[in-house]
Amino acid sequence: MTTAEVLSLVGPGLDRVDGRQKVAGAAPYPGDFSLPHLAHAALVQATVAAGRIRSIDATAARAAPGVLAVITHENAPRLARAPGALTMGPPPPLQHDRVLHHGQHVAVIVAETAEQAAAAARLVEIGYEQAQPLLDLGDPRAERIDNGAGRDVQRGDAAAGLASSAVAVDVTYTTPTQTHNPLGLFATAAYWDGDALTIHDSTQGPSFVRRALAVTFGVPESGVRVLAPFVGGAFGAGLRVWEHVVLVALAARTVARPVRLVLTRAQMFSSIGYRPRTVQRVRIGATGTGELAAIDHHGTEPAALEDSYAESLTRGTSVLYACGNLSARTTQVRLNVACPTWMRGPGEAPGIFALECAMDELAWELGQDPVELRLRNYAEVHPQTGRPWASKALRACYEQGAERFGWSRRTAQPRSMRAGGLLVGYGMASAYYGYVQAPCQARASLGRDGIAFVRSAGTDIGTGTYTVMTQVAAEALGLPPGQVRLGLGDSDMPPAPLQGGSGLTAAMGSAVHAACRQLVQAFLDVVADDPDSPLRGCGLADVRVGDGRISRPGEPASSEAYGAILSRHGLDELSADGASARREDTGMEPGIFAAKFAEVHVDPDLGLVRVTRVVAAVDGGRILNEKTATSQIIGGTVGGIGMTLLEETVADPGTGRIANASFGDYLVAVNADVPDIDVIFVGEPDPMNPIGVKGVGEVAIVGVAPAIANAVFHATGRRIRSLPISIEQLL
């Protein structure tokens, strides 16, 4: 390709380059590493939600077979609090006797085997001085934090706009606590060599974990190596350095041996964050013809006692529609709960559920088609800043999605469509996610064998990063994908940002593209004064690459293979570095958009809801790999089905203990719950980065819940405003 070549919107559906390794069981996950003299850790967790530890009797645990150490706040060294991802991180463990939430880690046992460690953990006896916990969002004793961690948005006069509206809705929606539950249990293995720490971890950001652990333990960052070449799913749970990661490193230093910990499924519910529950009041006013006069969206969510995470519930509300009067704000309530964290589509998934259900209610009150109402209030520019969008094809998402779905067949009246004895409902919703692009670095090398090695420290949590980065490198170097080897998940590689927020593809892809183009330039520099080279004196703009060669366009004979250049000049390989910067202010606003359409069948006698069809029309910029991008949308849709109909983490209201911390009691969508999911990509490459991508991982789940909930209303005439939608609510 040449630098002036226009990149197509949809790239080839290349099979996953790591697929064979995974199905053969050869992909090394963090829990797979077996190190010499490996010891094992087990956690002791608090059985109360608030108070202090009055006493710890670990006598029996220390005497148990195979036990090497018992570490509590009484003998743990002082540790520093690391800044955390996006300045947020839980405080280091075992630093005080206070209990802040049920399930807090209060001790760690190290033993020869995992079974011995778990058995000894059950022998630790802890006495508590209990306090009355804060567990309810409405508890008047709880500290309330307004201004949504600085994320609130105001414009115009929402109160006046509502007062002058011809038609208005005033509704409250609730969403429950939900847990990430990736299939792979989170695992950490660590060992020290003096002050040098090596750690295998289930993380979405090896470079970030490296920085955090260096601060926590007061060692040079260069002496910490974090490895995570494969992670068995994360959905946002791997965006922090959790307490158990610090405890494993601490345990390894204490016993001077490698130590591994694999969380239990129950511990996954209390140790690695969750999507916090929300209560959201939405008021929308409009003219009699459907122009929005005002939006007032107020969300309330829990926050941990010593944490600064905020869900940003109303971020999408301020962006999606042209409305001059808006108030979008969030209140946090500090409770005795574990730290919440990012979970797929954080903020937008629950926030847009409330907004888009309210828009559907407004459409019903107006007697307008839901798609028509959204088009009538389409934001041609960013509603808050007035600046143009970098790229936005939401209108095409509505139109093409509706056509593919067959929206025109929808009759307006609820309970008016049937299939046999079942009620049929059609629903739709808008989706938005504001992706970020952080700085990233990459390095590319190419040897005489014609194999390129491209690496960056970011990891792949199953999204297809190995595959799409291989494609980017292969395209930039003019090599078949099979001649590109990609290295990921090693903090000793060039630093990369977290894989989250739909930002890694843009960040790493741009860095990989830059590194590979610089590598081509390095070859041109070698032959710049070479009288035997047909490429003598050429720059990047003068050449194209393909079939493992650099050539002059239109001059087939004026080309050279990479290996030939290296051999003639006595070089084994050449390397080059590339980087992408934080997205700069270009005068344009970024955004990922989509429209989701859902069909449901509801049994009127049993209240049973089945999602029978979903169409997702997505504006995700340039799609590097249609197959993996489609897989991302399907996966997010499956998560959205679970969010709407099944998933709810239940805590005992008196103690804060999670009551359903298992796959037997926490329901997730399985094959029988998942219908045909039709994915279409629209739009154009995004100008905010050199490769034109936006990312689709987060927007994949956003909008699914309201589309289904709106379809349930259309089928039944019952408006369900509390997730998950249950049989009991419909009977």
Phi first, then psi, for residue 105 (nearest 5°) are -75, 120
Q: Are residues 471 and 456 in the same domain?
A: yes
Do residues 595 and 397 touch, judged by C-beta distance below 8 A? Answer: yes
Residue 256 shares a structural domain with residue 302: no
pLDDT of residue 7: 45
Give the relative orientation of helices 504-526 and 465-477 as an angle to the nearest 10 degrees. Answer: 30
The span from the first CA to the last CA of the chain, in angstroms, equals 61
450, burial (CB in 10 Å: exposed 0-12, middle 13-18, buried 19+): middle
Among 115, 291, 698, 728, the one annotated catalytic: 698
Would 222 be classed as within a structural domain?
A: yes
Same domain for 243 and 283, yes or no, is no
Let me know whether 212 and 339 are in one domain. Answer: no
Q: What is the pLDDT of residues 400-418, one digit of tens each?
A: 999 999 999 999 999 999 9
64 is a domain residue: yes
b/e for 259-271, b at 16 or more Cβ within 10 A?
A: bbbbbeeebbbbb
286: CB partners within 8 A, 6+ apart: 165, 166, 167, 168, 292, 293, 362, 366
What pLDDT does 3 receive?
Answer: 32
| Pair of tokens at residue 273 | 């964050």
Number of domains in the chain: 3
Reduced to 3 states, what is the DSSP secondary structure of residue 213?
helix
Residue ending a domain, among 559, 580, 601, is 580
Q: Does a structural domain hold residue 575?
A: yes
The answer as to whether 154 is a domain residue is no
> What gap in Å lies between CA 343 and CA 338, rounded to an integer?
14
Domain of 37 in residue numbering reads as 33-133+183-233+238-271
Distance separating alpha carbons of residues 161 and 322, to the nearest angstrom: 13
Residue 177 lies in a domain: no
Active-site residue, 698 included: yes
Q: What does the pLDDT look like over 123-137, one tens digit per residue?
A: 999 999 999 999 999
> E-assigned strands of 458-608?
484-487, 544-546, 549-552, 555-561, 573-580, 592-602
Sign of CA dihedral 165, 394, 312, 270: positive
Q: What pLDDT score does 622 carry?
A: 94
Q: Is residue 325 part of a domain?
A: yes
Whole-model pTM: value is 0.96
- The number of angstroms, rounded, from the C-alpha of 293 to the middle of its chain's C-alpha atoms is 34
**Among the three residues 551, 580, 609, which one is the final residue of a domain in this structure?**
580
Per-residue pLDDT, 157: 98
The upper half-sphere exposure of residue 572, i.e. CA atoms within 13 Å in the direction of its Cβ, equals: 0
Q: Are residues 422 and 442 in the same domain?
A: no
Q: Is residue 157 part of a domain?
A: no
pLDDT value for 608: 97
* Residue-level pLDDT at 554: 84
Assess whether the previous peptide bond of 220 is cis (omega < 30° from 0). Answer: no
Does residue 71 sit within a domain?
yes
**410 and 348 assigned to the same domain:** yes
Same domain for 104 and 198, yes or no, is yes
117 and 265 assigned to the same domain:
yes
Reading the block at residue 404, the tokens are 């593919």
402 and 462 assigned to the same domain: no
Alpha-carbon dihedral 509, 515, 520, 521, rounded to 10 degrees: 130
- Smallest CA-to-CA distance from 648 within 177, 119, 234 is with 177
- Tell me: do 192 and 121 sit in the same domain: yes
Residue closest to 596 by CA, chosen among 703, 715, 683 = 703
State the pLDDT at residue 5.
Answer: 41
- Show which of 580, 598, 617 is a domain's final residue: 580
Distance CA 650, CA 176 (A): 8
User: Does one domain contain both 511 and 633?
Assistant: no
From the list 189, 572, 152, the residue with the least C-alpha distance to 351 is 152
Q: What is the CATH number of the domain that holds 419?
A: 3.30.365.10
Same domain? For 76 and 198 the reply is yes
pLDDT along the chain (731 residues), means of 10: 43 88 92 92 98 98 98 96 67 95 98 98 98 97 81 95 98 98 96 97 96 95 96 93 97 98 97 97 98 98 92 93 97 96 96 98 98 98 96 98 98 97 98 90 97 97 95 95 97 95 93 97 96 93 94 88 96 97 81 98 97 97 94 97 98 96 96 96 92 94 98 98 97 91
